[in-house]
A and B are shown apart, each in its own frame.
Chain A
Amino acid sequence: EAGVTQFPSHSVIEKGQTVTLRCDPISGHDNLYWYRRVMGKEIKFLLHFVKESKQDESGMPNNRFLAERTGGTYSTLKVQPAELEDSGVYFCASSQLLNTEAFFGQGTRLTVV
């Protein structure tokens, strides 16, 4: 069984550009999460999908961030326009049930220069 996959693994973009991150969850997992770790700090919640619906997007930092999960399968996280403080590692995770562990992807390291 394939795990959670994220693409790209690394991205370097200039301030003001647009970047789209993709996450493919484990098949059959309705719950999909996006997290971010900035500058070696704690891993912070961004948002949670249940199937194609946004269950909780309280962690999204501002309206430059847009997440979608069309059809309830893979998800994309778009940053437009990117700012320097958006640099960090973006993790995606999925889980089947709410009282179980989540499985994480390897992360996308985003560097905005």
Chain B
Amino acid sequence: AQSVAQPEDQVNVAEGNPLTVKCTYSVSGNPYLFWYVQYPNRGLQFLLKYITGDNLVKGSYGFEAEFNKSQTSFHLKKPSALVSDSALYFCAVRDSNFNKFYFGSGTKLNVKP
């Protein structure tokens, strides 16, 4: 069965510190992996994706994520957090055999000044 797990409901980090938002997945075929961000009263915005190639992918706003096949993980990272990064982050996987996205439950990121 296809699924995504985001083990942390909330992540708190001080501005300027590195941040990590965790994501693990389970798919039957090759995974296509995505991160989306939702700011208050806004829709989901695409951040980055892994389809194939280099395991480290870079995306919008200085975010990056590392695909780890052996650990079935796709953690979102940023070297230096900004207060404006505070939002709700969703990890998603699309199985290459199917057309739909499977989402995690979301992680609320709080960046304190």
Residues of A within 8 A of B (CB): 3-4, 6, 31, 33, 35, 40-45, 48, 55-56, 59, 91, 93, 98-107
Most buried by A among B4, B49, B99: B99
Closest to B3 in A: A42
Query: Smallest CB-CB separation from A107: which chain B residue?
Result: B43
Quote the shortest CB–CB distance from B88 to chain A (angstroms): 10
Main secondary structure of the interface of B (DSSP, over half): strand
B positions within 8 Å CB-CB of A: 4, 32, 34, 36, 41-46, 49, 51, 90, 92, 94, 96, 98-106
A105 touches B43 (CB 8 A): yes
Q: Which residue of A lies closest to B100 (CB)?
A: A45
The winner among A43, A44, A100, A103 for most chain B CB atoms within 10 A is A43
Indicate which residue in B4, B32, B99, B106 contacts A56 across the interface (CB closer than 8 Å): B99
Chain B residues lying within 8 Å of A6, measured Cβ to Cβ, are 43
CA distance A102 to B90 in the complex (A): 13
- Judge whether A42 and B103 touch: CB under 8 Å: yes
A89 to B32, alpha carbons, bound, how many Å? 25
Q: Are B103 and A31 neighbours in the complex by a CB distance under 8 Å?
A: no
20 A-B residue pairings within 8 Å (CB atoms):
A3-B43, A31-B99, A35-B103, A40-B106, A41-B105, A42-B103, A42-B105, A43-B44, A43-B90, A43-B103, A45-B102, A48-B99, A56-B98, A93-B44, A93-B101, A98-B99, A99-B32, A104-B45, A105-B43, A106-B42
